[in-house]
Amino acid sequence: MNVLVVEDSEVMRGMIVKALKNGGLPLGDVYQASNGVEGLQALHDHAVDLVFMDLNMPVMDGETFLRSLRAEVATAGIPVVVVSSNSSSARALGLESLRATFVQKPFTTQTLRAAAENALGARQ
């Protein structure tokens, strides 16, 4: 399973990847992007099975990235997990209609894994 992590903080990208590895998910390639623009480019360049993303990012924020991802036929079906500290922003975004799962920061390995499984399961 190839994963894309879109998050402006390098340390948080590392923590997400570490939690995914510790959580026992069958990881393939892990791609990283520091904003929505880089995230869309990574989706264009690589086959991605699951996206983890922040909302509060410079250059292109998470909402714009997620709506762009859902608007493209090639990427519209990719499961998404939003990892953010701001639950009010996630709620206002209407994650259910955008078919995304929410995880509150700070997260645990277990909550991140459960969210990934939830997102992957919702696709089927």
Partner 1 sequence: MSSDLRAAIHRAATVTFSAYSRKSLREGLPKTSEGDPVSVAIEFTGPRKGRVEVNIWEDALGDLAASMYDQRVPPPFSDQLDAIREVTNVIAGNVVSSLDSTSLFNLGLPKVQHNGPIAAVDPSAVADFALGSGRVSVRLFIEN
Residues that bind partner 1 (CB under 8 A): 9-12, 14-15, 18, 56, 58, 84-89, 91-92, 104-106, 108
CB of 18 to partner 1, least distance (A): 6
Closer residue to partner 1 (CB): 12 or 37? 12
Choose between 48 and 115: whose C-beta lies nearer to partner 1. 115
To partner 1, the closest distance from the beta carbon of 36 in angstroms equals 14
Single-letter code of the amino acid located at 10: E
Q: Which residue's CB is nearer to partner 1, number 88 or number 124?
A: 88
Sort 68 into a burial class: Cβ within 10 Å, 0-12 / 13-18 / 19+.
middle
Peptide bond into 106 cis (omega under 30): yes
Two structure tokens written together for 79: 């499961």
Q: Minimal distance in Å, beta carbon 91 to partner 1?
A: 8
The distance of closest approach from Cβ of residue 40 to partner 1 in the complex, given in angstroms and rounded to an integer, is 20
In angstroms, the CA 21 to CA 15 distance is: 10
Q: Which is nearer to partner 1, 15 or 33 (CB)?
A: 15
Sheet holding 100-104, edge to edge: 30-33, 3-6, 50-53, 80-84, 100-104
